[in-house]
Structure 1
Amino acid sequence: MLNNFILLAQAQQALPMFLIIPFLLLIGMIAAGPIFFGHFWEHNYKTVAVVLGLTVLAYYLFVLGDVHMPVHTLAEYFTFAVLLSSLYIAAGGIYLNVNANATPAMNVALVAVGAILANFIGTTGASLLLIRPFIRLNIHRIKPYQIVFFIFIVSNAGGLLTPLGDPPLFIGFIKGVPFFWTLQHLISPWFLSIALLCLMFFLVDRRNKITGYTPRPEVVAKINEKTEFHFSGRRNLFWLAIIIGAVFLDPNVIEGLPHIYYDGTKISFLREIIQLSAAFMCYRYSSKTALAGNQFSFHPILEVVFLFFGIFFTMMPALQISAQIASAPAYAQYITPNFLYWTTGSLSAFLDNAPTYANFLSLAMAKFDMSQGNVEHVRQFALGTSAFGRETLIQLEAVSLASVLFGAFTYIGNGPNFMVKAIAESAGIKMPSFFGYVIRYSIPFLLPVLILVWFFVVHLRLF
């Protein structure tokens, strides 16, 4: 995983602010490209992302002489890309079809099941397994807002209960946070956020009237007769379990696993080899019927892999600069649960939420002279058993809630978001632009939930 950003930032001289220009440029092109120069962007987004990422990488290597940050970022990106690609391929060979009337209640039930499932197979696994059935169920009334609420609930907020649910929580687990800590301390905000988002989804979906579509009488009769589930590609469930199980094969947690040792960190490669091998077996022996039913292609995953290559490397300066600013002694008095919630959340929305979690966990612990490199320190920090009492526990709750929930605020806050968007667009759904997503959906629907979670859970401590 990404190493301690704050220690890295403090070890380096102050970074020039112009280094964040490539990141801002890439985000701006992701937002504006499909709208203002769609043809160019469609054919050149890979080149743009790679060139911008390599530009920042070259500056670190040849101007700053910093090898540490690029190596840790490359390791994190490789783990991210392998897991996402493996899950995408495995889910592509699993065909699930729901024969039912696509009522608002049915849609809410499906995303609620996805929210629960996300805690067992991750938000990425649940998203990739359910997004295609969700689209097929609503194919005669599909609208962009339905995909957006799917992203809110299944791809992000749902995975709040276990370290398997979302990458930030898994980082906390491998650093020493007990496995069941999230279930014990975050279940109330999980219920609150899922219930509010499902209620909003239900109320908005009730207004979705079918226009210009008249299903055949026999189709209507079959749908109204009973709800049925059609499933094929069962063999892929075995490989899916292998891919998810391999997530635990981290050499920093399990002694004796083969690894590459660099800069005090054990970098995994066995886990990635297992996941890629399982993905190959999935694709090689997948049901052709399931692949055809899912209209499987590699275009969506390639888009995510290339764009996030640029995002991971161009965001290195942004992460380090934010760490330098936040870790200054003058700001120590402001490191409160409220500060951590809103700062971690704001950065998680526009940077990848996993390294942001690691960044602010380290910052919160540093206030109490504790180190996230010490497993016992992290355990005491999470349980509130250190000399500082429950204050540390509350700070970890704030960081955990913000990194997961705010990950839904933009397409790039969490890996599954962009994947779901790409799959929806490949199915012919016209998804909102980057800023359209934020302005039309995140601000009016997600932000009130984030404010309520902050007010009742972090500020008032009612749950």
Structure 2
Amino acid sequence: MKTGLRWACALGAMALPGLAMAADFDGSKLSPLWGVPFAGILLSIALMPLLTPVFWHHHFGKVAAAWALVFLVPFALMYGLQVAGTSLVHALLAEYIPFIILLTALFTVAGGIHIRGNLHGSPALNTAILAIGSVLASFMGTTGASMLLIRPLIRANDNRVHRAHVIVFFIFIVSNAGGSLTPLGDPPLFLGFLKGVDFFWTVKHIFPETLFLVGALLVIFHVLDTWYYRKEGVLPMDPTPDTPRLAFDGAVNFLLLGGVVGLVLLSGFWKSPVVFDIAGTEVGLPGIVRDIGLIGITLLSLQITSAKVHEDNQFSWGPMLEVAKLFAGIFLTIIPVIAMLKAGAQGPFGAIVSAVTRPDGTPIPAMYFWATGALSSFLDNAPTYLVFFNTAGGDPQALMTTLAPTLAAVSAGAVFMGANTYIGNAPNLMVKAIAEDRGVKMPSFFGYMLWSGAILIPLFIAMTFIWFR
């Protein structure tokens, strides 16, 4: 589910190399019913804010915990406490904790940078911010770019009547599509890099697709925002006072942001034989150093950033807490779903895996694009990428050469289609939470999918016929 998962990093994500599921139970033997808790938490995120908004606002953490227990308790009864405990520890140590540490670091550091000055949210300015964010996303991750630019963008449009569409396109472009050109941009590409895919392979092979998607979205957005802008007529007085010039307060956090990027890259390049086994989960020294370093950067940012910068940014921990609680439930309930997918053609979801291959055994790039993208819209895109990377043979040299169209399809599907839902990528939900915290009325879960269905899906269909036939 991409769960948005991991990176969030702005390294776009970036999140972490330790994605392998604990293999103490056979996913091919599981019933699809084990996916009910995961479906339940997704439906809760989608429906409860609409049906019971007050209850959801105060108790969404309890709802996420309840669905996690709906999975864990029967799982422990059927497979034993040891297997359940091993799976729980793996999900926490190898995935959730590093994910949250990285997100928290990016959230804190970016929240300590205040762009002083009054930007006026005209269609031209809004389009320019989205374009800049799309470039930054591949170098500082979709999460980093999102956290850096979302507050200035909201502030620039604080006198606009129609603002939700600005945030929706920000999620499309900055929180997703922009992170497609380097392993720094999004977690699945980083995993491909760790598997042996060249650092610059992606930019060489899906740059045209990225340029098409981002370019088309920018054009559509500019036309739509211009229509809204003219429809609003004379704008009310801008509540943000004008200042003589733009400037950065808390600029030292840019150095800390560079430190975050450096630590994530270090954990990918550094190969250490030192590994600690914690209840069946192997935790490598590079990952430990990375996480300790990220915690240190988070605390340092809080220490050196003035209270006024946080106040000017309207910084609060609400959005971070919401993401942390919801993704805790998601990371746990997704355990059996990923196990069933990893079982391949022999598992409960074998029809999905088999659908991407022709009778003669050759891959179908278009099917890889849509299968990877569809699952990445609701599941963690990082393990989804690995599933189809391995389904296509798992040999990075072959995938980068003779099977390049297939690897391009998997890469594009995992990154681009994370924009299809709020839970497709971690930055999506964070941006939504920050926007709502700042008074922007965002579309509901299904309302957002109407936007993505109307705008993104036709573009993905066009891309299929142009590049993935």
Length-normalised TM-score, structure 1? 0.87
Q: What is the CA-CA distance between 1:431 and the residue it aligns to?
A: 0.7
Please show how residues 44-443 of structure 1 align to structure 2 within 5 Å. Answer: 44-65=59-80, 66=83, 69-74=87-92, 75-97=94-116, 99-141=118-160, 142-209=162-229, 210=232, 213-215=235-237, 228-250=245-267, 253-256=269-272, 259-261=275-277, 266-267=283-284, 268-324=287-343, 326=345, 331=354, 332-333=357-358, 335-365=363-393, 371=394, 377-378=395-396, 380-384=397-401, 390=402, 392-439=403-450, 441-443=451-453
Looking at structure 2, the residues matched to 304 and 257 of structure 1 have their Cα atoms a distance apart, in angstroms, of 33
Does the 8 Å contact 2:180/2:415 carry over to 1? Answer: yes
RMSD: 2.5
Does the 8 Å contact 1:259/1:269 carry over to 2? Answer: no
Does the 8 Å contact 2:115/2:248 carry over to 1? Answer: yes
Looking at structure 1, the residues matched to 410 and 23 of structure 2 have their Cα atoms a distance apart, in angstroms, of 20
Q: What is the CA-CA distance between 1:3 and the residue it aligns to?
A: 4.4
Does the 8 Å contact 1:108/1:198 carry over to 2? Answer: yes
SS of alignment partner, residue 424 of structure 2: coil
SS of alignment partner, residue 197 of structure 2: coil
Deviates more, 1:347-356 or 1:51-60: 51-60
Q: What is the CA-CA distance between 1:405 and the residue it aligns to?
A: 0.3
Looking at structure 2, the residues matched to 217 and 421 of structure 1 have their Cα atoms a distance apart, in angstroms, of 22
Letter in 2 for 1:248: L
2:12 match: none
Q: 1:211 to 1:169 in 2, by over 3 A?
A: same
Q: What is the CA-CA distance between 1:265 and the residue it aligns to?
A: 5.2
- Is structure 2 residue 455 aligned with structure 1 residue 445? yes
Does the 8 Å contact 2:370/2:413 carry over to 1? Answer: yes
Q: What is the CA-CA distance between 1:242 and the residue it aligns to?
A: 1.2
SS of alignment partner, residue 246 of structure 2: strand
Looking at structure 2, the residues matched to 190 and 327 of structure 1 have their Cα atoms a distance apart, in angstroms, of 34
Q: 1:179 to 1:9 in 2, by over 3 A?
A: farther
Q: 1:26 to 1:54 in 2, by over 3 A?
A: same
Q: What is the CA-CA distance between 1:30 and the residue it aligns to?
A: 0.6
Q: What is the CA-CA distance between 1:240 and the residue it aligns to?
A: 1.4
Q: Which 5+ residue runs of structure 1 have no aligned equivalent? A: 366-370, 372-376, 385-389
Q: What is the CA-CA distance between 1:419 and the residue it aligns to?
A: 0.3
User: What's the CA shift string for 1:382-433, capped at 9, x where partnerless?
Assistant: 422xxxxx1x222111110000000000000000000000000000111111
Does the 8 Å contact 2:344/2:391 carry over to 1? Answer: no
Deviates more, 1:163-172 or 1:318-327: 318-327
Looking at structure 1, the residues matched to 49 and 155 of structure 2 have their Cα atoms a distance apart, in angstroms, of 25
User: What's the CA shift string for 1:316-335, capped at 9, x where partnerless?
Assistant: 22223334354568825364
Deviates more, 1:120-129 or 1:133-142: 133-142
Q: 1:35 aligns with which of 38, 46, 50?
A: 50
Deviates more, 1:265-274 or 1:133-142: 265-274
Looking at structure 1, the residues matched to 128 and 238 of structure 2 have their Cα atoms a distance apart, in angstroms, of 26
Q: 1:12 to 1:409 in 2, by over 3 A?
A: closer
Letter in 2 for 1:254: W
Q: What is the CA-CA distance between 1:256 and the residue it aligns to?
A: 2.8
1:387 match: none
Looking at structure 2, the residues matched to 24 and 348 of structure 1 have their Cα atoms a distance apart, in angstroms, of 14
User: What's the CA shift string for 1:254-282, capped at 9, x where partnerless?
Assistant: 22375434769554222111101100110
Does the 8 Å contact 2:275/2:282 carry over to 1? Answer: no
Q: What is the CA-CA distance between 1:138 and the residue it aligns to?
A: 1.0
Looking at structure 2, the residues matched to 247 and 257 of structure 1 have their Cα atoms a distance apart, in angstroms, of 18
Does the 8 Å contact 1:82/1:272 carry over to 2? Answer: yes
Identity percentage of aligned residues: 39
Q: What is the CA-CA distance between 1:120 and the residue it aligns to?
A: 1.1
Does the 8 Å contact 1:3/1:72 carry over to 2? Answer: no
Q: 1:71 to 1:357 in 2, by over 3 A?
A: farther
2:466 match: 456
SS of alignment partner, residue 34 of structure 2: helix
Deviates more, 1:266-275 or 1:66-75: 66-75
Q: What is the CA-CA distance between 1:231 and the residue it aligns to?
A: 1.2
Looking at structure 2, the residues matched to 312 and 280 of structure 1 have their Cα atoms a distance apart, in angstroms, of 25
Letter in 1 for 2:426: G
SS of alignment partner, residue 182 of structure 2: coil
Looking at structure 2, the residues matched to 314 and 86 of structure 1 have their Cα atoms a distance apart, in angstroms, of 25
Looking at structure 2, the residues matched to 218 and 151 of structure 1 have their Cα atoms a distance apart, in angstroms, of 24
Aligned length: 434
Q: 1:327 to 1:401 in 2, by over 3 A?
A: farther
Deviates more, 1:257-266 or 1:196-205: 257-266
SS of alignment partner, residue 215 of structure 1: coil
Looking at structure 1, the residues matched to 165 and 434 of structure 2 have their Cα atoms a distance apart, in angstroms, of 15
Does the 8 Å contact 1:9/1:320 carry over to 2? Answer: no
Q: What is the CA-CA distance between 1:49 and the residue it aligns to?
A: 0.7
Does the 8 Å contact 1:70/1:313 carry over to 2? Answer: yes
Q: Which 5+ residue runs of structure 2 have no aligned equivalent? A: 1-16
Looking at structure 2, the residues matched to 402 and 298 of structure 1 have their Cα atoms a distance apart, in angstroms, of 32
Q: What is the CA-CA distance between 1:175 and the residue it aligns to?
A: 1.7
Looking at structure 2, the residues matched to 363 and 107 of structure 1 have their Cα atoms a distance apart, in angstroms, of 41
Looking at structure 2, the residues matched to 49 and 458 of structure 1 have their Cα atoms a distance apart, in angstroms, of 38
